[in-house]
Structures are given as C-alpha cells and as structure tokens.
Amino acid sequence: METLYHSGRILTMVDQDDAPEAVLVRDGRIAAVGPLVEVRARASAGTEAVDLAGRTLMPSFIDSHGHLLQHGMLASLVDLENARSIEEIVVAFRDRLAEREEGDRTPLVGAKYDPQLLAEGRHPTRADLDAVTTELPVFALHRSMHVAVGNSFLVDGAGLTAETPDPEGGRFGRFADGTPDGYVEEHPAMSAFAALLSPGGGGGLLPADIADPLRAAELAVADYLRHGITTAQEGAADPATIGGLVAAAGAGALGLDVVVYPVVQSGTTAFDAHAEFAGDYVGRLRLGGYKMILDGSPQARSAWMSEPYEPIDGDEEPGCAYPIHTPQEVEAFTRAVAEQGRQLIVHCNGDAAAQLWVETAERIGAEHPKLLEARPVMIHAQTVRDDQLDRMAPLGMIASIFSCHTWFWGDVHLRNFGPERGRRVSPARSALDRGVRVTLHQDTPVTPPDMMLTLWAAVNRISRTGQPVGPEQRISTWEALRAVTCEAAYQYGEEDSKGQIREGMRADLVILSADPLASAPQDLRDIAVLETIKDGEVVFRA
C-alpha cells in the first residue's frame, strides 16, 4: 500500500526551514521525502495521491504523560465538568439517579468538578451530597483526580469520626467540630471509601460495571485519535489496569500505541509478570518503565512545597503540604527500578518533591548508571526551581510539563503561590534555557487530550480570565511542536521511528487545517485536526 502526499505545507520536524514538496508512504513507513518529481518517480503504479490542497502534514502527536484507560472509564461517570455551582453538581447526580431502574444500588460516581468554577468557590461537603441521597454512595472526583468528596453513606460506612487520624500522605477534611466533612485528599485518604465504592474490586474507586476495560479503551482511543495522538500513555497503572490493557490489546481494541508505567507501590515485578510486553509493542501495547508519585496537586494545595502556600479564606497557617512517600521509600523504589535498568517517571508538582527526586536520582544514578541511561522523567515539574533544573540537565532528566495548567488554573496558582511563584508554574522556558529536554502533556483525563490547546497554552500562557501567567516562560511554536513530536519520541526511546518525517520512520502523521508555524500564537488552538494516520492508515477523518 502506497500513498503520495503533495501540494501542502509539510513539517518534517527535522529542521524548521524544511519545506519538502511531497512525502511517499509505503507499507506504514516513510519511503521518500523531497521534491514532488523525485518522490513521484519512486512511487509504484497505482499509488494513491493525496492532494493536501494547502493543508499541513506533520508527524502525529505523542502523549508524553496521561492515563488513557482512566480517561475512557471516566466517560461513563456523571459529568461534573460544566457544573458552576454545588446545586448543579447535586442536580447532575439526581438526574443520573432518576435514570436508573428501581433497586439499582450501584454507587453514584461523578468526575471533574472544579471549585474555582463553582459559585461558592469551595469543595462540596458530605452535607451537600446528602441532598442527592443517603441511601447509597455518592462520590465526586475533583478534576485533578487527587481529591474527592463523599456523602454520609461513605463517611459513616468507612467509620470515619472526629477521632480518626489523617492517614500518612493524605488528609480528611473536617467541619469546625472536627467531624469529617466528606473531603478526602490524596489516595491514602480516598482509599477509605474504596470498599464501599467497589466491593470486591481490588481497592479501586470505580464500580466494576463502570470499569470495563474494553469499553473504556474504545472510548479513549477514539478521543485521542480525534486529537491527532497516535502514541499514548497509561501513566500510573495498578495490576487491574495492566490486566485491562492486556485484554484490550488481545482484543485488538488499541488503535494507537500505548506505553504503560506501573506504579511502584504495586511492586516492581510487572516486567516479569508480563514479559511479552517488555520489549517492542505487542497488540500496540508495551511496558515503558515504572511510575512513582511523590506529591499531590498544586490547585488542590496538596503539592509538596518548600515554602508555605499563600493564606486564603482566613487560613493563617496554610503549610507546605506533604510527601506521598518517605525519603526511605523513595530510595528503595528508585534503587529497585535502577537495578532493573528501567525508566522511572516521577510525579513532582511541588518543588520539595522535585528536590527529593533530583537528589535521589543523583545519588542512585551514580551507583547505577542505567537509571540515568534509561532517561528519567520529572512528570509535571510545575514548580521546579532554576537551581533544580541546573541539576537535572547533567542527569539527562526530562521535564514533562503540564502546560495547560496556565489556562485551566493559572488564576488559582497566582492566588495559591503569590505572584512570584505563581507566574513560574510550568517553567518550560527556564528548562529549555538550561539544557533540559522538555515534553508537554495533558495528564488526561485531568484535561482533554487536546494537543492544539496544549501548544497554545505553552506559547501564550494566558489564564481563563485572560491574565498573563509568567509571559517570560513562553516558548516558541517550533519548540512546542518539538515537545509533542520528536522530543516526546525521545522520552519513550522511540526517536528512531517516531516524531519526524524522514525515510524509514513510521508513518504516524496528522493533517492540520493550517500551518502552526505560519499562524499567530493566539490562533493555535483554533487549528483543526482533519486526519490522523497511524502506520500509514487513516484512523480518523473529520
């Protein structure tokens, strides 16, 4: 099978000034790139010719961090993303409850509420959710996925009282008298509700009938392909998630490449347990390494900081939040991964978390060079400092930056951190200037898998209210495009097969409605994905 693309803008991502006239795809690979006459001469009889008609052809996008299967699972939950008041959250739950058959006792689970968009400017409480029902579990997940709220059925059923201590690495919200108010911060606290939300579900927070991996994979893959992404990540997989993805791969349900990173607290034996996925893709699935989560969410004020958050709502001692793991645990996890020579990607939102990861990587990397050879990654790197970036560069540590934070929560960060620290959130410019390789991600399902919005956010750095968020941290469109193509391929160790248009590379391509390099920065998010091509086959067409 051959396809010849011509008569449009072709971005090879090899050099910014490249302007080939044509690309020939043969059997899923790039067979020729160059002048139309020369490329056409290398085509076989019967080659399909695609006239780009001035549109732009470039490598497809590579998701450097996200949670593909989780994204598909959340599609079945009560959608709270558009709620603008706590009453609208209650109504959304009531509407779903009204659709049920009589006697259905399945927990009501909703996702993606955001306090900054609610009229009350706060999280719901158990009292608010009790207005839905107290006869079965009602559980609302914050958009960050790091905090949530349960109704009294959950709080009482979990046995939480004023005397219940906060778990290590988590926190229970409380009313003024100390009684739990239903707010649960970070997984150690959220897991208190797990047995009630998913009986027999292995400690997960989603009911088993919702967490159908094949259906979830189908929904998520379609959404990723619609946004031009042909390599995705499952970036914090427990054994159940790995099993679901293995089942999806076996059923042929993965229409794009998926790289899986098991979480270290579930053990470091995944490569032995699933040896067939330890090398190249099988059924478009492979294991990439391991994931460690060191702290929480900056917009939820649970990211671990070296300096306190700014006081708000009369909170005179907001503190610095806390780590998820002790330094001893981080040492042990990192050493175990290093001894296997696997890649370790580490969630660090706060600068205190970043400090622990950099120091640990320096120390253990000196003993086990394979840790650094495997290209360690700092996921999110939201508040990483310049002195930490200076130390990351010689380690070869990649900063995978969640650039959309400036759009979704820029106003919140300026309030939580103050103007000096808040404007530095997602410091891509500082990272690049210090020789740190940068990739960009959406952390889907926290935000949609929309690469054009991600590019726009990194290049413009504007909040929802139109406020600039550290314009000195803006990067160029070319740098942003590299971050979601060839640099992301490098992060996965796939730079020899993905991320550029040159002979021998896989024909993972996207056709855009306009040339990003020729577009005004403010117009980037308006560029449409018209076609997505995976290994030479069109898998999405608008």
| Helix (H) / strand (E) containing 515 | none
pLDDT at residue 415 is higher than 80: yes
Rounded CA gap, 481 and 426, in Å?
16
Q: What is the pLDDT of residue 187?
A: 86
The model carries a pTM of 0.90
Q: What is the pLDDT of residue 500?
A: 98
Query: Cβ-count burial of 516 within 10 angstroms (0-12 exposed, 13-18 middle, 19+ buried)?
Result: buried
> pLDDT-derived band of residue 29, with 50, 70 and 90 as boundaries?
very high
User: What letter would DSSP give residue 258?
Assistant: E
pLDDT at residue 208 is higher than 60: no
> pLDDT-derived band of residue 314, with 50, 70 and 90 as boundaries?
low
Q: What is the pLDDT of residue 103?
A: 86
Please check whether residue 358 is in contact with residue 392, taking contact to mean a CB–CB distance below 8 angstroms.
yes
> pLDDT-derived band of residue 85, with 50, 70 and 90 as boundaries?
very high
What digits encode the pLDDT tens for the residues 248-289? Answer: 999 999 999 999 999 999 999 999 999 999 999 999 999 999
Q: What is the 3-state secondary structure (H, E, C) of 289-341?
A: EEEEECCCCCCCCCCCCCCCCCCCCCCCCCCCCCCCCCHHHHHHHHHHHHHHC
Q: How many CB atoms lie within 10 A of CB 166?
A: 15
Q: What is the pLDDT of residue 203?
A: 47
Q: What is the mean pLDDT of the chain?
A: 94
At the top level of CATH, the class of 77-197 is alpha beta
Q: What is the pLDDT of residue 210?
A: 58
Partnered with residue 87 across adjacent β-strands are: none
> pLDDT-derived band of residue 132, with 50, 70 and 90 as boundaries?
very high
pLDDT at residue 213 is higher than 90: no
> pLDDT-derived band of residue 202, with 50, 70 and 90 as boundaries?
very low
Q: Percent of the chain having pLDDT more than 90?
A: 88
Span of 103-117, 340-354, 390-404 with lowest mean pLDDT: 103-117
pLDDT at residue 110 is higher than 80: yes
Average pLDDT for 408-424: 95
Q: How many CB atoms lie within 10 A of CB 385?
A: 17
Q: What is the pLDDT of residue 206?
A: 65
